[in-house]
Amino acid sequence: MRTIILAGGLGTRLSEETISVPKPMVTIGGKPMLWHIMKIYSHYGHRDFVVCLGYKGEVIKEWLLNLDRFDGSFEIDLTSGALKPLGDSQREPWTVMALETGQDTQTGGRLKRALEAVDDEEVFVTYGDGVADVDLDALLAFHRGHGKLATVTAVRPPARFGRLHLDGDEVTRFGEKTQSEEGWINGGFFVLNRSVGDYIAGDSTLWEKEPLSTLASEGQLMAFRHDGYWQPMDTLRERHDLESQWHGGGAPWKLWN
């Protein structure tokens, strides 16, 4: 089943990192965020991707074209340009459509263009700036079980600060940051029937506004509740948190071996 990744935004809140690269190419543990997301889907056997390009899309194209060269040894014939990967090369079993969707196109417009470029009746869709330990098998089964047009993964946002446990005015324990208890939000990791493209007017449409609101009002949007790990990379602080988890050996989204 094909996965559409919305990877064309500006990433203005992470401007320290996105001056020279698009947000999905900001690295965690030396690998682009895009790689981490694709590895999550690949772990569940979903290895066909459409990457929707916009801002600095050429950086993503260059990475895709040279992925094998970055991840192992190779021998090259400089006369012909022929490349022969050597034994330690680890080729990813992926098929990727790098789809130009416009510099200024909004998320809905990118999604609509991607749906028009493929003939799949249902697709996974996610953003290029967040990871999670979502059970994609359970998500897909949930979507197919309810028969509606769209499923969004509902998550609880990470708490920004450590939690104080109080007894009156006395601090009894200072807890680590946990998931917020303030309600559910859109965590991405959608499953969509292709007809949702009819709900998107054009390039200027934000997927998160009119299309999702209309689907909800028509009873065509269901929520798959995910109580596990979910983390976006919207700020430099969040990027550092992800980096620390990766190097600390406790990255919850690393489902693969």
- For the residues 104-112, what does the mean pLDDT come to? 97
Q: What is the CATH number of the domain that holds 176?
A: 3.90.550.10
Note whether residue 120 is domain-resident. yes
Q: State the pLDDT confidence band at 18, using cuts at 50, 70 and 90.
A: low
pLDDT digits (tens, 9 = 90+) for 220-244: 999 999 999 999 998 999 999 999 9
Domain that holds residue 203: 2-72+91-247
pLDDT of residue 32: 96
Q: Domain count of the chain?
A: 1
Which residues pair with residue 4 across a beta bridge? Answer: 50, 125
pLDDT at 161 exceeding the cut of 60 = no
Note whether residue 187 is domain-resident. yes
- Contacts of residue 159, defined as CB under 8 A and 6 or more positions apart, other chains included, come to 177, 178, 179, 180
Instruction: Give the DSSP letter of residue 183.
Output: -
Give the C-alpha distances (Å, rounded to integers) separating 14 from 8, 21, 225, 237.
14, 11, 28, 9
Note whether residue 257 is domain-resident. no
Note whether residue 148 is domain-resident. yes
Give backbone dihedrals phi and psi of 61, rounded to 5 degrees, phi first. -60, -45
Note whether residue 80 is domain-resident. no
pLDDT at 117 exceeding the cut of 90 = yes
pLDDT at 172 exceeding the cut of 70 = no
- For the residues 157-185, what does the mean pLDDT come to? 68
Note whether residue 195 is domain-resident. yes
150-155 and 163-167: which strand pairing?
unpaired
Which of 34, 47, 60, 37 shows the shortest CA–CA distance to 131?
37
Note whether residue 86 is domain-resident. no
pTM: predicted TM-score of the whole model, two decimal places: 0.88
Q: Where are the alpha helices (DSSP H) in 208-256?
A: 210-217, 236-247
pLDDT of residue 190: 97
pLDDT at 200 exceeding the cut of 90 = yes
